[in-house]
Chains A and B, each alone.
Chain A
Amino acid sequence: MTPAIETKQLTKKYGKSRGIIDIDLQIQEGEIFGFIGPNGAGKSTTIRTLLGLLKPTSGSATLFGKDIVNEGPAAREDVGYLPSEVFYYDNMRVIDLLKYSASFYKKPKRDIEIRMHELAKLLDLDLTRKIDDLSYGNKKKVGIIQGMQHSPRLLILDEPTGGLDPLMQQTFFDLLRQENKHGVTILFSSHILSEVQKLCDRVAIIKDGRIVETQSIKSLRGHNYFRCELELAAPAKKSIFANKNISDFSVHGHNIHFIWSGDVNELTRLLAGLQLTDISLEEPELEEIFLHYYKKEG
């Protein structure tokens, strides 16, 4: 079967800033593929190259077997794209913008319009409003409909969840899962690991413009990552924290800091044995997780 996305040593170099180097990806039809890396790692550059917004310096890429450079329009025919920030032409109503967007695709206009109204209903968006008057979250909804109304076989989502409230995020994820059930391939880029964990089958990790690892999400699942800050009632023995799941450990008097990566229950058991005056658990930045990840691997 032709992969939905295939890149071969795809490289994009720009002047001074870092681009991407030798990106090799193969995403099969029907996969939800996570693309994860810290900000500036090259996720957007890869996506923008796939969409023909950037011309690759070397290497090649295909969408459903169609070359992104030589057959750009054909390659993009079956793609829906949702950027992290959505912008539209001034002074237009939502419905006019969506109709303009629909006019670029070969699919029957009627089918697209039916889907447009379905999606608008699901996302609770009034199509007759002016785009300029919409809140950020509602503009994002316009973006979602715009990317999905022509029922593309491939959805490319570049950090799509920013600006969506948790409830809407849930609706959006459900929508993506539903699309995926109908065979839609999804490339989902994010710098938030938990998002990718929730949704994706496989994930590629990108760092400094290179893919450092492609793995099934199962190996990441069952792993919870926390940045733990503890304040102890009394100094504790360091040996309590000698655990394979703990990294980046530091002590300042009564304060203890570490990154936990592993089963959350094991963490609660460990904490249960301590006399705490305060605790804070946060999802660490991706960089911190990676730091931990590479130390362990390496």
Chain B
Amino acid sequence: MNVFRFELRSLSRSTFLWILVLLLLTSIYMSVYPAFASDVDTLKNLYSHLPAAARAAMGLSHIDTNTQFSFLNFYGNIFPFFMLAGSIQAMLLGVGILSREVRSKTTDFLLSKPIRRRTIFLSKYAAALTSLVVTGIAFVAMTFIGAKITGAGSFSMTTYLLITAVFSIVQLVFLSLGLLVSQLIKKIKSPASISLAVTLGLFITGTLGIALGEDKVRYLSPFKYVDFLYVIDHKAYEWQYLVAGISLFITCIVMSYLLYIRRDRRAVD
């Protein structure tokens, strides 16, 4: 418990700062919604006044103005930016938490204490997880309140929660990815640059892949495990990508655990 408490206290500042970052992001993005919604009204109005033949001629006959321009649709469109921020937070956390002793040269201090490495690993992991859970709860609250303030009207709660949960799912995957990276690279000089490189790299890979119509890329990029339009239509995730995410998550955790408990700690240098 002492390691958990110690790590959690050390994380409190960064957790708080990340919540602030997310608050800023959600405020900015969600404040756009009223403008978007009023445009939608104009558009809807325009559509309704167009003769059916004209709509068909413009290729718009199949558009359901109610879902296509709904709040959730808007939410799904801005969500990748929240995911990106969340993934950076989680990745930084993952890279940093086990390698902390390596960077501050306190490995000797910690590992010469009467404590199992397993306990250290689990305590640190639990502390990181707690930080993310707190962030997740704050995030749900922010987006929900944001939706209410910006006049989103009524929307499907299930769909909203399914979309919002993706934030935490992506964070979990990146946390474990970060842990593994920290165990594979012996000396991490700057956790920030590695974290940014990995998250942005995967984000761009995902976006480019989809843009190029390559669906397999969705297994590669955790940002693309969930297709928000699919969630809006079906109120469910596509399980095959979720399985890919869970497998990656478990593989990273198990590998970093094994590496952490087995590694020889040579002299500090």
Contact = CB atoms under 8 A, between A and B. Distances in A.
Given A76-B114, A101-B113, A53 B106 contact: no
B112 A44 contact: no
Interface of B: 2, 6, 10, 100, 104-109, 111-116, 262, 264-268
A73 B108 contact: no
Contacts of B116: 72-73
A85 interface: yes
A55 interface: yes
A14 B113 contact: no
B104 A53 contact: no
A54 B265 contact: yes
B265 A87 contact: no
A85 B109 contact: no
A53 B109 contact: no
**Mostly helix, strand, loop or mixed at chain B's interface?**
loop
B264 A87 contact: no
Given A73-B115, A73-B116, A14 B266 contact: yes
B267 A44 contact: yes
Nearest to B113: A104
B266 A54 contact: yes
A76 B110 CA distance: 12
Interface of A: 14, 44, 48, 51-55, 72-77, 79, 81, 83, 85, 87-90, 100-101, 103-106, 146
A54 B264 contact: yes
A146 B266 CA distance: 21
Given A55-B262, A103-B2, A89 B106 contact: yes
A51 B265 CA distance: 10
Contact of A104 (B115, B264, B265, B266): B115
A52 B265 CA distance: 9
A152 to B, nearest CB: 10
A100 B104 contact: no
Contacts of A52: 111-112
Nearest to A52: B111
Indicate the member of A72, A77, A85, A104 with the most B CB atoms within 10 Å. Answer: A104
A141 to B, nearest CB: 15
Contacts of B265: 48, 53-54
Contact of B104 (A74, A75, A88, A146): A88
A100 B6 contact: yes
13 contacts: A14-B264, A14-B266, A48-B265, A48-B267, A52-B112, A53-B108, A73-B116, A76-B114, A79-B114, A85-B268, A87-B106, A87-B268, A88-B106
